[in-house]
Structure 1
Amino acid sequence: MEKAIKTETKTKKINSATLDGFIAKKVEVESSFIRALPGFSIVGLGSQSIQEAKERVKSALLNNDFEFPPLKITISLSPSDLRKEGSHFDLPIALSILYHNKEFDFEDFLVLGELGLDGRLKDTTSIFPLILSLRPKKVIIPLESAKKVSKIPGVEIFAFSHLSEFEKFEPQKIEKSSLSYSYLKIDGEKYYYDDSFRLDFSDVLGQEKAKEAALYSAAGFHNILFEGSPGVGKSMIISRLRYIMPPMSLDEILEVEKINAIEGNDVEFKPHRPFRNPHYSSTRAAIFGGGSRGAKVGEIAFANKGILFFDELPHFQKDVLENLRLPLQDKKVLISRVNSKVEYETDILFAAAMNPCPCGNLLSLHKECRCNELEIRRYKNRISEPLYDRIEIYHQMIEDDSEETISSKDMFEKILIAFEMQKGKFNANLEENHKFEMENEAYDIIQKAIKNFSLSKRSEFNTLKLAKTIANTRKRDKIIKEDIFKALSFRRRV
């Protein structure tokens, strides 16, 4: 009777990870070495880039005089039913082979890195978001990745620039780095901001009420809609809104940079909230995410913690506009597919601009509108009342010839005041059971408004949240009657 084939060594396990949409999933890289006809295979639903790792790993080992054992080598990526992608699996696969007959425990490490054919370790777009999502205690990564990863608190970095450095396991020391921006400190946590305004509100002449609306929108993270004829400054104001947005915590900055890394953009660690401006021809999948093979994220996910701007709002597809309602209310989106489910946060400030009619001249003081009542009604009916109900600030803009202006710096100072009053949170995200502190006169006015304007519970709550933001910009927590009047002035009239 023939003897059973025995493995030459015990199975080794090295921890790595893969991205499933925005979510990081842990992956165990298991390896076995059997005395049999030499071969090298990778199993476990690895993508094409992972299958190509066999050639990169083999060349990197042999080009640096490491042994490539003449055995049957099987690399298993577990869990086997999870689809894996990314060239960062090169390094854990190479270390599985390099240490196949050595006693070295990688259990405490997360190992990520791409290999060059000469053994150099390279950064990939997925390394930073993977580490940020999982927050492991120790990581083995390329030196190229270390500068970005050093911003993540609580992670000990073992950085290598070449595969040859693993012969004696000699990582390079990486100093933890911090952000160099101005910050506010609230309840012991730092909130960073950049007060160099690339686009300044001082460039916008007139439109004082619209700029005031933008100020309150940014201060409380309130959704905003401008309606007006072409050329009155709707897009000009919203494009400047992004530069006066409130400060960001380190976790928020890291979350935004994770999105930039996934998209392949430079990671700069600036306290700039994202600004996404999809075209009105964008499909539902492009806005919310989707895909036939797996769940891919969309524009609304990339706008998380920042602004999602819909210009020419009524021209967006009807199903796109209707599907906006839940993300604006629940602050999350769930994408379900046969093989995957992805849920992601959508804490956004929704900004929109629209013309008053198809030709755009209905509110113009100088041009004549060419639309009939039916065309105007059809145009405006593309936006449902439930969607309007989720927009706290509405303002109609007309041509303004005045020369009055205000700088972004002056507006931002009021936003900082409101941000400190809100203790780093936003009034737009207040719970429905929040008890507002207000004067008796203010309470009487809101009760009259509920009766006279037939305000729904959501409209009443939105009005009070906006009134609280207005009070906060004036260094007050208590809502007075002027705050209610001001908030009601930004309410859409039906």
Structure 2
Amino acid sequence: MKQLQCATFEGIDAKKVEVQFSATKGLPAFTIVGMANTAITESKERVKSALLSNSFTFPPKRLTVNLAPSDLRKEGSHFDLPIAALIALGNYEGEIGDWYVFGELGLDGNVTENTLLYPIILSLANQGAITRAIVPAVSLPKLSKIPGIEFFGVNSLTDTLNLLRAEELPQSQSHVSSFDFNHVTHNHQNYYFHQHYPLDFSEIKGQEHAKRSALIAACGMHNLLLEGSPGSGKSMIAKRLVHIMPPLHNDEMLECAKLEILEGKEPTFTPSRPFRSPHHSSTGASIFGGGAHKAQIGEVGLAHGGILFFDELPHFSKTVLEALREPLEDRHIRISRVNTKVTYDANFLFVAAMNPCPCGNLFSTSVACRCSDLEISRYKSRLSDPFLDRIDLYVQMHAVSSEDKPSVTSRDLHAIVRQAFLRQKQRGQERLNGALSDAEITQYCPLNSEVQQVIDQAIGRFGLSFRAVSRVLKVARTIADIEGEDNIGKAHLLEALSYRKR
């Protein structure tokens, strides 16, 4: 029995699959077993045509291809190439080695690309399960950005067979980093960023308090809620925030490219974080992921490493808002179904915008609010206290004035974000301030007696929960980083407390 290695996609991770082949005596037949989906069972016809087009004669035997483990559902046309290669090598007596082989076959035996190859191989690389692979030559520009793997590109089934039978391997395509972006360096690690700002903070007039909160949110990945009248600039700030986010490590850029592919886009391999903005009418399954037989990734998972923006926050369903509490706290989302259970990383910056009342004019100085107290109470009661407790920065935006002027550019804010990012890295933090654990808060957010007295008074006066205290300390730590201070001061803590919703 001969075998090659392949893999299938389950949720957001790849699972190793052994493609096994045997030819036994019996009536001529060609069977694929091992819980293969339609795309794989249909590969029999593609494999037959590709082999016959390359002068291969099927033996008068019973040909069986097994995809192990047999209790794992497999999908994808990239199984074509290993199946065809094993059948063609049926009489080959030499060793073919431990190879990963991926590729879809055309009827003439040419190897074509499969969209799932990049996320599959990146997942295998993160697991340390793959060191070399045979892939379509057309996929090399994308795949070669994954480090630690030797890639051998092939254009046809014949090229694959020659490679598997070769005593001496040709030159492989190893990791080729073409990331030619601006970067900052810490501990010999590059963190990439761009200085292209298609949407600039200079276009926002006034709203200095909101701009300050956006800067703090970007520096530490703190959740932000903007409340203000229609047209006050809430969405403008949210859409510009993504362009001043912290720099990305090489591995994070590869993860962002994987999310682009899972969304159906061509990967860009740029230091741009994702920005997801689902409509308030979106279903829970589209936001969190789901499916009857296969758990698909949702908006929360696609926002990993970037921004998840909820405009018109109170109009989202109560079920969605309450379910959002888990990823906001734990930084991951778990989808459980009868047939599958999948956990997605969901470490994103949550930004939300809302009106102060149903008509939106409660904060207006020129237009009268038409809402009754009961309507306003019902509107705001859609946001529960446990949900609001997970919001780090709450900002009320004032109405637009003719005296408002532009004050700061995205380039200036981005420079401050990079400086704060380096301060966090230089302290030895693996994660940004917004994601610090309780133990890391104790380590990186020490308080002197004066500052401790302030937080103790705030706990009694405002009834802060343990979660709220932790989030206040993390925001204060970020404010201190922006100001270039090593320790959290009284002013930093007071400013952090001013952003808590009461």
TM-score, normalised via structure 1 length: 0.95
Amino acid at match of 1:408: S
Partner of 1:366: 366
Mark the CA change 1:107 to 1:285 in structure 2 (over 3 Å): closer, same or farther. farther
Q: Distance in 2 between matches of 1:477 and 1:107?
A: 55
Q: Give the superposition deviation at 1:144.
A: 1.2
Partner of 2:265: 265
Matches within 5 A, 1:54-69: 54-69=44-59
Amino acid at match of 1:177: V
Q: Distance in 1 between matches of 2:96 and 2:470?
A: 53
Mark the CA change 1:107 to 1:259 in structure 2 (over 3 Å): closer, same or farther. farther
Matches within 5 A, 1:223-242: 223-242=223-242
CA contact (8 A) 2:285 2:291 kept: yes
Q: Distance in 2 between matches of 1:68 and 1:216?
A: 67
Matches within 5 A, 1:79-478: 79-135=69-125, 136-169=130-163, 173-178=172-177, 179-401=179-401, 402-423=404-425, 425-433=431-439, 434-435=441-442, 436-478=445-487
CA contact (8 A) 2:147 2:174 kept: no
Q: Which moved more, 1:438-447 or 1:160-169?
A: 438-447
Q: Distance in 2 between matches of 1:438 and 1:474?
A: 17
Partner of 2:496: 487
Q: Distance in 2 between matches of 1:343 and 1:447?
A: 37
Partner of 2:166: none
- For residues 254-303 of structure 1, give each alpha carbon's deviation from its aligned partner in whole angstroms, at most 9, with x where no partner exists: 11211212222111211111111111111111111111122222110111
Amino acid at match of 2:2: K
Query: SS in structure 1 opposite 2:420?
Result: helix
- For residues 410-465 of structure 1, give each alpha carbon's deviation from its aligned partner in whole angstroms, at most 9, with x where no partner exists: 00111011101110631111121322234443333222222221211111111111
Partner of 1:3: none
Q: Distance in 2 between matches of 1:263 and 1:13?
A: 32
CA contact (8 A) 2:149 2:175 kept: no
TM-score, normalised via structure 2 length: 0.93
CA contact (8 A) 1:277 1:310 kept: yes
Q: Distance in 2 between matches of 1:404 and 1:291?
A: 47
Q: Give the superposition deviation at 1:176.
A: 2.7
- For residues 206-236 of structure 1, give each alpha carbon's deviation from its aligned partner in whole angstroms, at most 9, with x where no partner exists: 1111111100001000000000111111001
CA contact (8 A) 1:419 1:425 kept: no
Q: Which moved more, 1:18-27 or 1:438-447?
A: 438-447
Q: Distance in 1 between matches of 2:95 and 2:373?
A: 75
CA contact (8 A) 1:427 1:466 kept: yes
Q: Which moved more, 1:217-226 or 1:456-465?
A: 456-465
Q: Distance in 1 between matches of 2:344 and 2:131?
A: 24
Q: Distance in 2 between matches of 1:70 and 1:117?
A: 22
- For residues 306-335 of structure 1, give each alpha carbon's deviation from its aligned partner in whole angstroms, at most 9, with x where no partner exists: 111111111111111001111111111211
Q: Distance in 2 between matches of 1:176 and 1:164?
A: 25
Query: SS in structure 1 opposite 2:162?
Result: coil
Q: Give the superposition deviation at 1:184.
A: 1.5
Q: Distance in 2 between matches of 1:204 and 1:67?
A: 71
Amino acid at match of 1:306: G
Partner of 2:13: 23
Amino acid at match of 1:251: D
CA contact (8 A) 1:139 1:156 kept: yes
Q: Which moved more, 1:375-384 or 1:189-198?
A: 189-198
Query: SS in structure 2 opposite 1:168?
Result: helix
- For residues 345-377 of structure 1, give each alpha carbon's deviation from its aligned partner in whole angstroms, at most 9, with x where no partner exists: 111111100111111111112211111011110
Q: Give the superposition deviation at 1:66.
A: 2.7
Query: SS in structure 1 opposite 2:438?
Result: coil
Query: SS in structure 1 opposite 2:352?
Result: strand
Partner of 1:8: none
Query: SS in structure 1 opposite 2:493?
Result: helix
Q: Give the superposition deviation at 1:71.
A: 2.2
Q: Which moved more, 1:102-111 or 1:256-265?
A: 102-111
RMSD: 1.5
Q: Give the superposition deviation at 1:68.
A: 3.0
Q: Which moved more, 1:406-415 or 1:328-337?
A: 328-337
Q: Give the superposition deviation at 1:188.
A: 2.6
CA contact (8 A) 1:108 1:137 kept: no
Partner of 1:6: none
**When the two structures are aligned, how many residues end up with a matched partner?**
483
CA contact (8 A) 2:150 2:174 kept: no
Stretches of structure 2 lacking an aligned partner (at least 5 in a row):
164-168
Percent of aligned pairs with the same residue? Answer: 49
Amino acid at match of 1:448: Q
Mark the CA change 1:465 to 1:106 in structure 2 (over 3 Å): closer, same or farther. farther
CA contact (8 A) 1:467 1:484 kept: yes
Mark the CA change 1:106 to 1:336 in structure 2 (over 3 Å): closer, same or farther. farther
Mark the CA change 1:406 to 1:104 in structure 2 (over 3 Å): closer, same or farther. farther
Q: Distance in 2 between matches of 1:73 and 1:308?
A: 50
CA contact (8 A) 1:394 1:491 kept: yes
Q: Give the superposition deviation at 1:490.
A: 1.4
Matches within 5 A, 1:71-86: 71-86=61-76
- For residues 373-418 of structure 1, give each alpha carbon's deviation from its aligned partner in whole angstroms, at most 9, with x where no partner exists: 1111011000100010001000011223211321001001110111
Amino acid at match of 2:152: F
Q: Determine whether 1:14 maps to 2:16.
A: no
